[in-house]
Structure 1
Amino acid sequence: MRDHHRLAVLSDIAAVAGIGETDYARDAEASRNGASFDAYQLAASAFHRALDDADLSRGDIDGLIAGPPLSLERTGEVLGLDVGFAAQADAVNAVMQAVLAIHAGLAECIALVYGNNQRSAATAYGGPQAMGGDRFLAYVQYAPWGLTSQGSLYAMMASRYMAETGFTAEDLGAVVAGIRDFAALNPGAIRRRPLTVAEYLESPHVCEPLRRDDYCLINDGGVALIVTTADRARRLARPVVTVAGFGRYDLNRDATSLRPRLIDRYHTAHREAAAAVAEMSATGPEDVGSVQIYDSFSIHVPVALEGFGFCRPGEAAGLVRAGRLRPGGALPVNSGGGMLGESYMQGWNHQVEAVRQLRGMAGGRQISRLRHVQYLSDVAGKAATLLYRRGA
């Protein structure tokens, strides 16, 4: 059981001092022209950019967290890091583990590094040969019924959601169009061409009701974050952005069936993770000025907004129709273009965008008067969230 007193101690003790990304758009163009990339090369590039951003050197790093598919051992070798703390984790767990390690005194300055050459390597995210099929059985065990990819599973989820709530194809198109509007403002995004709802509706289904633009990109790239103590971050050049809260809750029972996905759309897990953030940070959805949502498929957006408490279940359509999620709206979603428009970095690029926005360094897509940005994720029943705070 969570102990909210012990959680609260962790709030704002650590900060993201450095951020780095590879050149998604440039590399995507090179890939179309036949170039091939190595995941460790991409990770190293992002790492050095994060060090430069933080005005730190490699010798300052005493902890390392590598994001799959990178090998932890090989990542440390390529980066030339001998460290006292090391781990392997996805984007959310990497940030959580960094905060915990800093609080425990295991490290003071931790590099969180991710690289993925999924396009160069022709990684399959669906079908009987799907990457991870041995670990995530939902990828493959429904193949006899024609459900051969995550897209087909999310299409079934979207169909039921839309039938039960009145969320329409136009609403889903508006979600995609809003994220693409943000991507158009991001020089580093791959899909920068704006998309109208009419264009969206004219495109064919891939797996009904999902169309091509409901699916995320598949591209090569790297991301790195440098997480250190808040006190040390205040002595560095960049505006301070702290980790104010985090939460996670896993639905494991029936995880490889469709039950949690279809019965309550993971809302049980959403509520538990949201409660942990609220207890740790003493904030709620009303305090959040922008949301970054894991958007491997567009349907994640309304489902996560409802589950994490930004509106009541079944009411996300109202936010969409009021234009609240688009540029200039009251609750901008995926202001960098997310994984539908900027880059598919399995949630890592959302962390960079959150920090950039809170620093006030997002250029033409900058959201004014931001104090908190929250990241929401609910992959396969694993609900997780991070809350970033400016200037604490």
Structure 2
Amino acid sequence: MPDPQRLAALRDEIAIVGVGESDYSQDYALARRGERYSDAYGYAATAFRRALDDCGLTRDDIDGLIAGPATASERLGEVLGMDVRWADQADAVQAVLKAAIAIHAGVAECVALVYGNDQRTAGTAYGGRDAMGGERHLAYTYYAPWGLTSQGALYALLANRYQAVTGLTERELGQVAVAQRAFARLNPNAVMRGPLHIDDYLSAPYICEPLRLYDYCLVNDGGVALIVTTAERAARLGRPAVLLSGIGRADHNRDATSLRPRLVDFYRPAQRTAAEQVYTMAGAGPSDVDVLQIYDSFSVHVPLALEGFGFCPQGGAGELLADGALGPGGRLPVNTAGGHLSGSYMQGWGHQAECVRQLRGEAGERQIPHARTAQYVSDVAGKVTSLIYRRADA
């Protein structure tokens, strides 16, 4: 069982002091024309350089490196010109957790979390028999006996069941895509910035019913980097810093390679456990969250997270969506850079950068006024994780 006292010792001790991202919109345009700009390591290097510039540190100040899953940490360190004493490999949310634990344990003091992915120009397969290495690597390919060899098929089945149980309508689900596109239109670096109205959503074709074109995430190239250090060192930098205040994690592993956790429970038991942990550690609750970022490879992630983490009653997400609460000017801004559906699909890494920018008041036209607390939520293959960030001066 998690130890609340040990977790409490981590609260506000770790700070994100630098963020950097590549030029998603520009690079997407190049990819559509068949003009390859870079590879995964090149995008990672661009983001890393910008993150260093953002916080005023140099490569020599970095003694830890965590590489995203599309690059190897050994090679990435070489490309970035680093000789760190501690390195690891992780996805977005696990990278933040591992960096926090490493710094707290004294293994490192300043860790770069760096992600690069050329998934569009490389033609990465996210569906089919050979999706990213097949069943040796991805749990969703275990669903092949049911003919479900893509994530889209899995989430379509989940969405069907969820609609049947809760009464969520297609129009209500469509408001997820509409709200995120409205934020993307305020983000000059977003990939999709054209207008999207609910009628546009409803007239789009099904990809796998009931999921339509705009329920699916983008596939684009890019890179993201975060510089993480101690709160004490962050204060000495004299620059805006964002503190990690809460951590929640709960896996739903029983029958993980069957359909039960998705279709029967909607991962709610794991969500409730992770929610209790993250809110207790942060000394906060859903009503304290100013900005919410939800992992959204598909739109249906959003209503599940809203209910699972207590932002609305179970079965109440549809009403929240219909009210326009999630978009610009709404009472619960979600995925304020456009999310994976319209902003950029950086597999959760961009969500961390957006949390930081919102809390530092640097999000431009999409800035949420007086943002002091941001939460990130992800549920992927039954692994539910949440982070709560807050301004250092909040």
Q: Please, what TM-score do these two structures have when normalized by structure 1?
A: 0.98
Instruction: Determine if contact 2:143/2:258 at 8 Å carries over to the other structure.
Output: no
* Whole-angstrom distance in 2 between the partners of 1:117 and 1:237: 35
Q: What amino acid sits opposite 2:336 in the alignment?
A: S
- Secondary structure of the residue that 2:173 maps to in structure 1? helix
Q: What amino acid sits opposite 1:92 in the alignment?
A: V
* Whole-angstrom distance in 2 between the partners of 1:202 and 1:192: 19
* Whole-angstrom distance in 2 between the partners of 1:56 and 1:216: 34
- Secondary structure of the residue that 1:180 maps to in structure 2? helix
Q: What amino acid sits opposite 2:22 in the alignment?
A: T
Equivalent residue, structure 2, for 1:103: 104
Q: What amino acid sits opposite 1:323 in the alignment?
A: G
* Whole-angstrom distance in 2 between the partners of 1:297 and 1:209: 12
1:33 Cα shift?
A: 1.4
1:253 Cα shift?
A: 1.7
1:136 Cα shift?
A: 5.0
Equivalent residue, structure 1, for 2:157: 156
- Secondary structure of the residue that 1:115 maps to in structure 2? strand
Q: Deviations over 1:304-342 (max 9, x none)?
A: 111112112111112112221111011100000011011
* Whole-angstrom distance in 1 between the partners of 2:43 and 2:365: 26
Is 1:31 the equivalent of 2:31?
yes
1:251 Cα shift?
A: 1.3
Instruction: Determine if contact 1:126/1:139 at 8 Å carries over to the other structure.
Output: no
Alignment of 1:260-339 (within 5 A): 260-339=261-340
Q: What amino acid sits opposite 1:35 in the alignment?
A: E
* Whole-angstrom distance in 2 between the partners of 1:44 and 1:269: 36
Instruction: Determine if contact 1:127/1:139 at 8 Å carries over to the other structure.
Output: no
Equivalent residue, structure 1, for 2:243: 242
Equivalent residue, structure 1, for 2:368: 367
Per the alignment, do residues 140 and 2 of structure 1 end up closer, same or farther by CA in structure 2, a change over 3 Å counting? closer
* Whole-angstrom distance in 1 between the partners of 2:133 and 2:13: 35
- Secondary structure of the residue that 1:134 maps to in structure 2? helix
Per the alignment, do residues 221 and 367 of structure 1 end up closer, same or farther by CA in structure 2, a change over 3 Å counting? same
Is 1:126 the equivalent of 2:103?
no
Q: Relative to structure 2, which stretch is displaced further, 126-135 or 298-307?
A: 126-135
* Whole-angstrom distance in 1 between the partners of 2:157 and 2:137: 17
Equivalent residue, structure 2, for 1:116: 117
Equivalent residue, structure 2, for 1:3: 3
* Whole-angstrom distance in 2 between the partners of 1:220 and 1:175: 23
Equivalent residue, structure 1, for 2:213: 212
- Secondary structure of the residue that 1:218 maps to in structure 2? coil
Q: Relative to structure 2, which stretch is displaced further, 75-84 or 326-335?
A: 75-84
Report the number of matched residues. Answer: 392
Equivalent residue, structure 2, for 1:56: 57
Q: Deviations over 1:359-385 (max 9, x none)?
A: 000000000111110000001101011
- Secondary structure of the residue that 1:357 maps to in structure 2? helix
Q: What amino acid sits opposite 1:262 in the alignment?
A: L
Q: What amino acid sits opposite 1:44 in the alignment?
A: A
Equivalent residue, structure 1, for 2:254: 253
Q: Relative to structure 2, which stretch is displaced further, 164-173 or 308-317?
A: 308-317
- Secondary structure of the residue that 1:235 maps to in structure 2? helix
Instruction: Determine if contact 1:216/1:344 at 8 Å carries over to the other structure.
Output: yes
* Whole-angstrom distance in 2 between the partners of 1:136 and 1:258: 18
Q: Relative to structure 2, which stretch is displaced further, 26-35 or 131-140?
A: 131-140
Instruction: Determine if contact 2:129/2:149 at 8 Å carries over to the other structure.
Output: yes
1:248 Cα shift?
A: 1.0
* Whole-angstrom distance in 1 between the partners of 2:376 and 2:175: 20
* Whole-angstrom distance in 1 between the partners of 2:145 and 2:99: 42
Equivalent residue, structure 2, for 1:201: 202
Q: Relative to structure 2, which stretch is displaced further, 156-165 or 316-325?
A: 316-325
Q: What amino acid sits opposite 1:265 in the alignment?
A: F
* Whole-angstrom distance in 2 between the partners of 1:352 and 1:137: 26
Q: What amino acid sits opposite 1:386 in the alignment?
A: L
1:194 Cα shift?
A: 2.0
Instruction: Determine if contact 1:7/1:279 at 8 Å carries over to the other structure.
Output: no
- Secondary structure of the residue that 2:131 maps to in structure 1? coil
Per the alignment, do residues 250 and 211 of structure 1 end up closer, same or farther by CA in structure 2, a change over 3 Å counting? same
Q: What amino acid sits opposite 1:122 in the alignment?
A: G
Alignment of 1:371-382 (within 5 A): 371-382=372-383
Instruction: Determine if contact 2:140/2:381 at 8 Å carries over to the other structure.
Output: no
1:147 Cα shift?
A: 2.0
Equivalent residue, structure 1, for 2:172: 171
Equivalent residue, structure 1, for 2:84: 83
1:164 Cα shift?
A: 0.8
Q: Deviations over 1:218-258 (max 9, x none)?
A: 01100000001111112224312101111111111211111
* Whole-angstrom distance in 1 between the partners of 2:244 and 2:302: 22
